[in-house]
Chain A
């Protein structure tokens, strides 16, 4: 069986539509009959990735590949990049603006949550070029 590919364009200009890709992904996973726990882990990882792109990178793309043994996420943006990835992975660390924090975002839980709910995460970032995040959630 080929892997199933889903592509999402994340609109960086609009906070109100943030979370739509996560909702869409959940719907697909329900249709495919994945267990609730897997759906929740995917939803949180996807949502955090999506929000990060809106807050920091003016949008980007997410490609999700559903295989028989794992679900792979590729999140690509051409935002400012992350200077210190290790620091960004720490809970509570955030470079979000006050404006963004006032909206209830920017608590510094984005990448830490993505790490927590996936089995593998690789963050590849070049300052001034962009960020690529690869995540994998193993099935069974």
Chain B
């Protein structure tokens, strides 16, 4: 799999910040640079957010991809509307998208309303046939997390295609009718708030084939529409979605659109992990629908957005004020066809399994336990692994050498220094003795600054 989240080698200084923040321990630092363990990356974008050198980035499509098609449709995620100050009409944004070169727009919020409608109608049947909650599959980062870390909850995932995928299919149909062109001549493009959705567009979770022609970063399109938006005087009525669809932009939107009581909406990847642990431990039996958002405040918190998530959320709320509840519904035969599109079921990806063979795995595990007893437990990150534990795992699986630990380096230096103490050669956090505080301060800078 080719992930959207990647490293800019030139900018990376090997500082370990991203490694420390990665929720799936997917990053190691080697030779002054961060490396992403591809199998473990869920494209949550946490590393992009925290990198002080902007060396982590999301690969989206370049804007000139629209030149490849005779007719193009822009599909803005609802979170896009929260990016603009003093916006009181989403039609201004949609008009500006047409002005920068798209031939049509299809709001993802329209498809979201259809999906909410179908989910409402099948809700009782779905909750009855499973133990535990229906878990929303709208956030691809959390779906991938579940596939790796909470396999028993995979059957609880809502078997449903993403709103943007439904939007893409509908947008193409509409464009074919409008332009008289063939489906291949039409390019449908998603304006995304996050890299997880870029990867999900390339490798769909429930669909068998991809239906989106390309994905643009929200920040990129933001820059392009700002000028044209100012020139829009009297926007045409283009928007065809209401509160329910646009509400998907922020945490709680998807679940409140179900009009049911027993739902729980969670935002922030660490909170998501905590809640999934609880559900796996058999807690929260009263929850029927679980909405999970890897980003703070939901999609408005995506790392490709421009605005602060809280600001964007409050703007979304303001925009929804004068809208009707919903403008899109699914006819019964429509609903059936859409449900049938979710053919694939995500599979358990046992990335933490030490070996295919149980006995071998147990042997490696004992080696890890043994190594951990010899490690300091400081999780300093100097070895290039996020914790002493993950370092021990790396050593036992031959991805690192025990000698990479700075405390083992101390022993080596002592040996090299003829058995004397190597303390003074080590940085302050790793020294055993304090020494002369005042004198040492200057030395620190000389030796290690």
Contacts and interface: CB of A to CB of B under 8 A. Distances in A.
B413 to A, nearest CB: 33
B352 A31 contact: yes
B149 interface: yes
Contacts of A39: 151-152
Contacts of A47: 281-283
B152 A4 contact: no
B362 A4 contact: yes
Contacts of A64: none
B286 to A, nearest CB: 11
Given A4-B362, A36-B151, 20 more contacts: A1-B359, A4-B365, A4-B366, A26-B277, A26-B280, A30-B149, A30-B353, A31-B352, A31-B353, A31-B354, A31-B361, A31-B393, A32-B353, A33-B350, A33-B355, A33-B356, A33-B358, A36-B152, A43-B281, A44-B281
Interface in A3-26: 4, 19, 22-23, 26
Most buried by A among B281, B354, B359, B361: B281
Contact of B280 (A1, A28, A31, A43): A43
A32 B358 CA distance: 6
A61 interface: no
B280 A40 contact: yes
The bracket for how many chain B residues form the interface is: 20 to 34
11 contacts: A1-B359, A1-B362, A19-B278, A27-B352, A28-B365, A30-B149, A32-B365, A39-B152, A44-B281, A47-B281, A47-B282
A57 interface: no
Interface in A27-57: 27-28, 30-33, 36-37, 39-40, 43-44, 47-48
B310 interface: no
Contacts of A30: 149, 350, 352-353
A90 interface: no
Interface string B131-149: 0000000000000000001
A16 to B, nearest CB: 11
A30 B348 CA distance: 11
A22 B281 contact: yes
A45 to B, nearest CB: 9
Contacts of B283: 47
A33 B152 contact: no
Smallest CB-CB A-B distances: 7 pairs: A36-B151, A47-B281, A36-B152, A40-B152, A33-B353, A44-B282, A32-B361
Contacts of B359: 1, 68
Contact of A37 (B152, B282, B366, B393): B152
A94 interface: no
A10 to B, nearest CB: 15
Interface string B401-436: 000000000000000000000000000000000000
Contacts of A48: 282
A40 to B, nearest CB: 4
Contacts of B154: 36
A93 to B, nearest CB: 17
Contact of B362 (A22, A23, A26, A32): A32
A36 B152 CA distance: 5
Interface in B274-297: 277-278, 280-283
A19 B276 CA distance: 12
A27 B369 CA distance: 13
A68 B348 contact: no
Nearest to B366: A4
Contacts of B277: 19, 22-23, 26
A30 B281 CA distance: 15
Nearest to A3: B362
Contacts of B362: 1, 4, 32, 66
A37 B131 CA distance: 13
A32 B152 CA distance: 16
A3 B332 CA distance: 56
A27 B354 CA distance: 11
A58 interface: no
B352 A68 contact: no
A18 B149 CA distance: 20
B238 to A, nearest CB: 46
A28 B352 CA distance: 9
A136 B152 CA distance: 20
A113 B353 contact: no
A40 B348 CA distance: 14
Contacts of A43: 280-282
Contacts of A26: 277, 280
B39 to A, nearest CB: 14
A46 B396 CA distance: 27
A36 B148 CA distance: 11
Most buried by B among A28, A37, A48: A28
A139 to B, nearest CB: 9
Nearest to B393: A31
Nearest to A50: B281
Contacts of B358: 32-33, 68
Contacts of A28: 365
Most buried by A among B149, B348, B362: B362
Contacts of A32: 353-354, 358, 361-362, 365
